[in-house]
Amino acid sequence: MIHFAFSLRGTDHEERGRCCEDCSRTFSIPGGCGLVIADGVGSASMAAFASATACKEASSFIRNYFPPEGDRESLLSLLRCAMNRCLSVLIKAAEYAGMDPMEFATTLSIVLQTPKGTCIAHAGDGGIIGLNAVSGDYDILASPVKGEDGHLVVPLQGGPGTWIIRDFDESYASVMASTDGLLDALYLPPLMKYAGEETGVYPYELQKVMDLAWMEKRDLDPADLKEYLIARFEREDRYVTGDDKTLAVLIDPSVKAVRRSGDYYRKQDFALLEMRRDGEIRRQMESREQEIEKADAVSEKKQNLPSLTMEKEEEKPLPVSLPDPISFSQERPVRERNLSKVGKSVEKEGTIKEKPAGFCNRIRSFLLADPTEED
């Protein structure tokens, strides 16, 4: 198994007089190899200490507690414990120093490669990529973990809920991990999504790090790969990124990866990709402006509409049907009344029968008489 790691100070750090705040290392485990990388968060005052401590604690913990059976379930549990161990040590260091734990913020990525498979643990804005031996694709095993705004890094201190811990069934000829400096500049550049590459990886650069076939074609001894890459990033690609440059690689010479068609490894014209990006941004802005104009036009149209008021119709009285005038010459039902004083024939619930005019006059006189007068 070929494995190596290195961390180089970025030009931005040199200009500001800051040390390299990345850390990396590889180590042997029963039947395989492991790697660990960490990147101290730039805004943290103890970034360099945090990354170095995380790498040291993770590698030591894994080697000291590596399970004899080495099955995937045990390895995943081991990785989870290693991540918690690193977090606990950094929290205690902050308490001892009387400082905010976020002053010790760092990213952390771990890879274990054994004959039984590949297991990873990941926190932060670095990334892990594997060369699939069967398909020849460069698979993203862990993407950068960032906040909702897409820029703010979520470090190890984000807690277990933000960590990526998983295993893979695929056979990988090699696996690499990188902090955001080289990852964004070379291996997972954001502009690649404008080149039609769905995953966003850049095979042209990744083959120089992970593909033995590429090395053999150029008579490059894999054992000299580390020195070759360090020389490259210290000279011609010194300014490929101003950030610190960290890379860790595991290569299994016994696993041969297939090569895809040449177009997959083509070199990209990033000036053209920038033009595509700018064109896409311009189209999005124009589309947004059109939507705003349409919304404004609709709003203005509503404001200019005449106010429509409903005229209230005059309420007409409901028709009332009045009864026909009642004359004494008509027969009508009457309620039971005591008219004994009248001395005339009145039936209960009966009818008043037709009487002569003299009778009516007597009745009227009786009704108008004062009831207090004595007969």
Which residue matches tokens 């414990």? 81
In a shared domain, residues 265 and 332 = no
Number of other residues whose CB lies within 10 A of the CB of residue 317? 5
Return the CA Rg of the chain: 47
Residue 335 lies in a domain: yes
Residue 294 lies in a domain: no
The long-range contacts involving 17-24, CB below 8 angstroms and separated by at least 24 positions, are 19/48, 20/48, 20/244, 21/47, 21/48, 21/51, 21/244, 22/51, 22/179, 22/181, 22/244, 22/245, 22/246, 23/48, 23/51, 23/52, 23/54, 23/55, 23/246, 24/55, 24/246, 24/247, 24/248
Q: What percent of the chain has pLDDT over 70?
A: 80
In a shared domain, residues 198 and 264 = yes
Predicted pLDDT at 343: 46
Cβ(77)–Cβ(12) under 8 Å? no
Domain end among 248, 280, 312: 280
Helix (H, G, I), strand (E, B) or coil at 279: helix
Predicted pLDDT at 192: 87
What total number of domains does the chain contain?
A: 2
Whether pLDDT at 374 is above 70? no
Helix (H, G, I), strand (E, B) or coil at 363: helix
pLDDT band at 289 (very low <50, low <70, confident <90, very high): confident
pLDDT band at 34 (very low <50, low <70, confident <90, very high): very high
In a shared domain, residues 349 and 254 = no
Q: Alpha helices of 201-269 — where are they, by DSSP H?
A: 203-210, 212-217, 225-234
Domain end among 280, 315, 346: 280
> For residue 121, what are the domain limits?
2-280
Q: Which of 42-51, 54-63, 273-282 has the lowest mean pLDDT?
A: 273-282
In a shared domain, residues 233 and 358 = no
Supply the mean pLDDT for the chain.
84
In a shared domain, residues 276 and 338 = no
Residue 168 lies in a domain: yes
Helix (H, G, I), strand (E, B) or coil at 260: coil
Please compute the mean of the pLDDT values over residues 287-293 and round it to a whole number. 82
Helix (H, G, I), strand (E, B) or coil at 200: coil
Residue 239 lies in a domain: yes
Whether pLDDT at 26 is above 90? yes
Please compute the mean of the pLDDT values over residues 143-169 and round it to a whole number. 90
Predicted pLDDT at 330: 47
Whether pLDDT at 247 is above 90? yes
In a shared domain, residues 98 and 202 = yes
Residue 312 lies in a domain: no
pLDDT band at 236 (very low <50, low <70, confident <90, very high): confident
In a shared domain, residues 98 and 24 = yes
In a shared domain, residues 343 and 270 = no
Predicted pLDDT at 347: 45
Residue 303 lies in a domain: no
- The residue with greater pLDDT, 59 or 332, is 59
- The residue with greater pLDDT, 334 or 89, is 89
- pLDDT tens for 73-104 read 999 999 999 999 999 999 999 999 999 999 99
In a shared domain, residues 272 and 350 = no
CA distance 238 to 14: 12
Predicted pLDDT at 70: 84
In a shared domain, residues 50 and 160 = yes
Residue 304 lies in a domain: no
Q: What is the CATH number of the domain that holds 9?
A: 3.60.40.10
284: phi then psi, degrees, rounded to nearest 5: -65, -40
Residue 347 lies in a domain: yes
